[in-house]
Amino acid sequence: MKKKLLNYPGKLKENAVYVGLFITSIIVVIVLY
């Protein structure tokens, strides 16, 4: 159980990185077009 709780924030951080990259790519597309 403890391992799962420790892994959860790490997964959220990974998701935040992907969301950040996704938002950045959308902004780049808007700026270019």
Work out the angle at residue 15's Cα, subtended by the Cα atoms of residues 29 and 32, and round it to the nearest 5 degrees. 5
Taking only the tens place, the pLDDT of each residue in 1-33 is: 566 666 676 777 888 888 999 999 999 999 998
Domain that holds residue 3: 1-33
Please give the model's pTM, rounded to 2 decimal places: 0.54
User: What pLDDT shows up at residue 7?
Assistant: 65
User: What pLDDT shows up at residue 2?
Assistant: 63
**24, 28, 30, 31 alpha-carbon torsion, rounded to 10°:** 130
HEC assignment per residue over the chain = CHHHHHHHHHHHHHHHHHHHHHHHHHHHHHHHC
Taking the C-alpha atoms of residue 30 and residue 18, their distance in angstroms, rounded to an integer, is 19
User: What pLDDT shows up at residue 28?
Assistant: 95
Phi, psi of 19 (to 5 degrees): -65, -40
Total count of domains within the chain: 1
